[in-house]
Structure 1
Amino acid sequence: MTADRHGHRMSDTGAEAAAHYEQALDDLLFFRPEVVRSAQAALAASPRSVMGQALGAYLGVLGTEEKDAAAAREAFARFRSGLDEGAPTRRERMHLAAVTACLDGDIHGAGRLLEDLTVAYPRDALALFVGHQIDFLTGNAPRLRDRIGGALGAWSDDDRHHGPLLGMYAFGLEETGHYERAEDAALAALAQHPRDVWGIHAAVHTYEMRDRFTDGIRFLDARTDDWAAGTLLTVHNWWHYALYSLERGDTARVLEIYDRAIHHDASPGAAMQLLDAAALLWRLHLAGNDQSARWARLADAWEGRQDGAHYAFNDVHAVMAYVGAGRLTQAERLVGDRQQWVAGAAPSVTNRAMTTDIGLPVCRALIAYGRRDWERAADLLLPLRHRLHTFGGSHAQRDAVQRTLVEAALRAGHADLARTLLSERIQLRPLCPYNWSAQARLEEHLGNDTQAAAAQERAGAGTSP
């Protein structure tokens, strides 16, 4: 029986397929688009390879694309129908269970199964990668950190994939607030592999959360050749660059990045890229910056996808696009569709709770905001602010929703609430220009001209080089 390079046996997998599988793992950990071709090559060489089939199914789920998940479900069902269930190894059976949970919509269950697998087989890179991505998609920051941290001790520093694991660990450290430790881990990962775009991604998150926007730009500029084209994270890392530019008040640079790298006529229309586009334009929308033409093109892209209920985080960003484009009827239609879906969805489907508890209330709040019903928007968002992580994403991504609550409170004239929200934000991120700019608007509303001027000065200080 063939084995991978860590000695894990691989059922029904020939030497050629095993080589393609190893290449696919390498492509996966380094976020190369070639991972799809490598995975297909493994299955072409050994169609009944259990690990090859598991890898292909995971790829169908991790992109949060409804159509890809459906195709993976059909292909995996065909494979399982002819499988001798007693033939695979214990590790492979654990993967089969995790894949089945994923394809059935039980993402939390899949994450738990992969956690058990990692305890038994800590050098299974596929289990670590998929589990880490599930932790990200479900907003489970402690597991995002500890899933990798618990396995790292079993990996040699000179293993080729030790670096990507450090990059993953760095992201988990960042999402749990260990920013300096996260930066160190990310830089250690990049010392091993400069083109580790997940490690780059982890580092830029640490700069974002510490309001080191100029440092973030310098970091990305110094590594442009390593991340700025040809990877599965290219658009997302450009999004981070645009966030830095936005905080520094350089709207022209933000729009240049948006048009060139984030959303344009040649964009493939992938959900994860469209949500980056929506999240960026929504921040401009909150600032009163009219981008109606860009919103219209983005709303067209979302509408053209004809998505059903699959991942509530995507739905929220689709509604941002519809509201930004003034297509409130389309936004309401999406909400109505998701309400009907929830009524019939099985309780074990992770997205059911995500949609019910977070997705639908946030969508309704965005629609209320679009109608200038600031009171309703604030009322809908306020109970969610400490639970938003349960529908996935990062702190940086979810901040678009948190800022919507701040803006709704300000516009509704809820000075006490706005003061509390801004005090929370300023204590955590005392150098963030947005926080001080919003504080200045609150002080102006209260007639405190001196305090408003001081806050505005602090906002300006945060944009300086």
Structure 2
Amino acid sequence: MATDRYGNTLHACTAEGAGHLDRAVEALLFFRPEVAPAVEDALAASPGSPDAQAFAAYLGVLGTEHTGAAAARPRFEAYLAGLDADALPARERLHLAAAGACLAGDLHGAGDLLEELSLAYPRDVLALFAGHQLDFLTGDAVRLRDRIGGALSAWGRADEHRGPLLGMYAFGLEESGHYRRAEETGLAAVERHPRDVWAVHAVTHTYEMQGRIADGVAFLDARADDWARGNYLTVHNWWHYALYALEAGAEDTALRVYDAAVHRAESAGLAMELLDASALLWRMRLAGREEPERWARLADAWAERADPPFYAFNDAHAVMAQVGAGRIAEAEALVVDRRRWLAEGEGDPARRTLSNHAMTAEVGLPVCEALVAQGRGDHAAVVGLLWPLRRRLQVFGGSHAQRDAVQRTLLESALVSGDHDRARLLLSERDGLRPDSPYNWLGRARLADAIGDAALAAVARGRAEGAAKGLRPAAPGLGAVPEPPR
């Protein structure tokens, strides 16, 4: 019987199919586009392989594209129809159960099943990767860390793919607040595989969360040839580069990155890319910079998707684009649709197994409502909606860096509405993590203005200006962005 490169026995799989699966897993680990054709090759060579069938199902879900999941379901269901799943080995049985849960919308249940699989088979890389991505999509920072940490002891230091596991572990460490350990682990992964773009991404997050903007830009500049083109994380890592530019006060650089890499005429309109585009422009909007033409193009791209209720995190970013473009009626229509969808699911036990149902009800819908209220200038309503959620935003997925767009929305509305106590508390929380952040100092200056403390406001603005200037000399890329893909 065939085995994969990690020693796992592959049921109903030929040697050719096993080779294609190994190729697909390697492409998956490094976010290379050839992963999908490699899976199709594995299915063609071994259509009865549970691993290949589960792999195809995971690909249909992990991109958060409702069309991908819809396309994957019929083939997976046809495969199961002729299968005695109880006769399969335990590992493959768990893969099929997890893949089925994914396609049914039960992301949390799928994550549980993959954790059970990894307990007995810690060298099943597909299970580790798919589970790690599900932990990210559901905002489970502790499991994002511990799923990989719990498997690492089964991997020797000489194992070729220990590096990508370290990259995943680094991201889990970062999301759990272990920034120094995350940086060390991520850099070790990049040292082993310079084109491990998930590890690059993990290190980039550690600098973002600590406000180490100059270090982050220098890190990305030095490795641009390894991450800046030809992989599924290209856009997202350019988004991080643009965030660094914004923090340093280089808005024009951020917009150059936006136009050249984040949202271009040639962009495919994928949800994860549009999400990054919305999050970047929204931060600029909160800072007072309107970009009507860019917003209009982005809102059009979201409208072309016509997404049904599928992933609440995407919904929030679609609403950002609609509000940013001044299309408040469209944003309100999305809110009404999601409210109706939740109401229709009341009393339906099957709907309750959908991860997106809870994600929408608990966080996604109120965040969308708050974004609409922000667009209408009802800042008291924004504060009323977001204040109770500010420590629970992880429920609807994403990373701390991504969710910061919502946290900044709350802070902005607290400042504008004159809710000085909440604004002070929010700024104090941010200061503790990023004491040299120009954004935080500018917020403190605005609060000081509002309470009539001109001296404190002048000091805070001086600190903001000094911090921003201090970032630029150590970050030469902010003046000469490496050429993005064209």
CA distance in 2, matches of 1:191, 1:179: 18
Partner of 1:417: 422
Partner of 1:240: 240
CA distance in 1, matches of 2:376, 2:192: 51
Which string of whole-angstrom CA distances, capped at 9 and with x for unpartnered residues, describes residues 302-336 of structure 1? 00001100000000000000000000111111111
Is the CA contact 1:335–1:364 (under 8 Å) kept in the aligned structure 2? yes
Partner of 1:169: 169
Is the CA contact 1:9–1:89 (under 8 Å) kept in the aligned structure 2? no
Partner of 2:334: 334
Q: Normalising by structure 1, report the TM-score.
A: 0.99
2:461 to 449, 452, 456: 456
Partner of 1:386: 391
Task: Indicate the percent of aligned positions where both proteins have the same amino acid.
Answer: 60
CA distance in 2, matches of 1:35, 1:340: 37
Partner of 1:396: 401
Structure-to-structure mapping, 1:13-412, within 5 angstroms? 13-345=13-345, 346-412=351-417
Which string of whole-angstrom CA distances, capped at 9 and with x for unpartnered residues, describes residues 122-176 of structure 1? 0000000001001100110010000000000100112121000000000011111
CA RMSD of aligned residues (A): 0.8
CA distance in 2, matches of 1:217, 1:424: 24
Is the CA contact 1:299–1:325 (under 8 Å) kept in the aligned structure 2? yes
The residue type equivalent to 2:313 in the other structure is: F
The residue type equivalent to 1:259 in the other structure is: D
CA distance in 2, matches of 1:123, 1:318: 38
CA distance in 2, matches of 1:417, 1:226: 43
The residue type equivalent to 1:440 in the other structure is: A
Q: Normalising by structure 2, report the TM-score.
A: 0.95
Which string of whole-angstrom CA distances, capped at 9 and with x for unpartnered residues, describes residues 170-218 of structure 1? 0011111111110100010011100000000000001101111111111
Is the CA contact 1:137–1:393 (under 8 Å) kept in the aligned structure 2? yes
What SS is found at the alignment partner of 2:443? helix
Which string of whole-angstrom CA distances, capped at 9 and with x for unpartnered residues, describes residues 284-312 of structure 1? 00011010100000000000001100000
The residue type equivalent to 1:451 in the other structure is: L
The residue type equivalent to 2:464 in the other structure is: A
Which string of whole-angstrom CA distances, capped at 9 and with x for unpartnered residues, describes residues 43-81 of structure 1? 111112110000000000000000101111111101101
Is the CA contact 1:415–1:442 (under 8 Å) kept in the aligned structure 2? yes
* TM-fit CA distance, 1:248: 0.2
CA distance in 2, matches of 1:6, 1:302: 41
* TM-fit CA distance, 1:428: 2.1
CA distance in 2, matches of 1:416, 1:459: 21
Partner of 1:426: 431
CA distance in 2, matches of 1:427, 1:7: 47
Is the CA contact 2:132–2:144 (under 8 Å) kept in the aligned structure 1? yes
* Structure 1 ranges of 4+ moved more than 6 A: none
The residue type equivalent to 2:430 in the other structure is: R
CA distance in 1, matches of 2:458, 2:186: 38
The residue type equivalent to 2:417 in the other structure is: A
Which string of whole-angstrom CA distances, capped at 9 and with x for unpartnered residues, describes residues 16-47 of structure 1? 11100000000000000110111111111111
Which string of whole-angstrom CA distances, capped at 9 and with x for unpartnered residues, describes residues 55-112 of structure 1? 0000000000001011111111011011122332110001111111111111111111
CA distance in 2, matches of 1:458, 1:87: 67
The residue type equivalent to 1:9 in the other structure is: T
CA distance in 1, matches of 2:60, 2:456: 53
The residue type equivalent to 1:220 in the other structure is: L
1:441 to 431, 434, 446: 446
* TM-fit CA distance, 1:462: 2.2
CA distance in 1, matches of 2:308, 2:399: 23
What SS is found at the alignment partner of 1:153? helix
CA distance in 2, matches of 1:70, 1:148: 29
* TM-fit CA distance, 1:344: 3.0
Is the CA contact 2:437–2:464 (under 8 Å) kept in the aligned structure 1? yes
* TM-fit CA distance, 1:11: 1.5
Structure 1: unaligned runs, 5 residues or longer: none
Is the CA contact 2:211–2:433 (under 8 Å) kept in the aligned structure 1? no
* TM-fit CA distance, 1:343: 2.3
What SS is found at the alignment partner of 1:230? coil
Partner of 2:476: none
CA distance in 1, matches of 2:467, 2:307: 40
CA distance in 2, matches of 1:303, 1:417: 35
What SS is found at the alignment partner of 2:85? coil
* TM-fit CA distance, 1:373: 0.5
CA distance in 1, matches of 2:313, 2:355: 12
Partner of 1:7: 7
Which string of whole-angstrom CA distances, capped at 9 and with x for unpartnered residues, describes residues 246-298 of structure 1? 00000110000000000011000000000000000000000110101000000
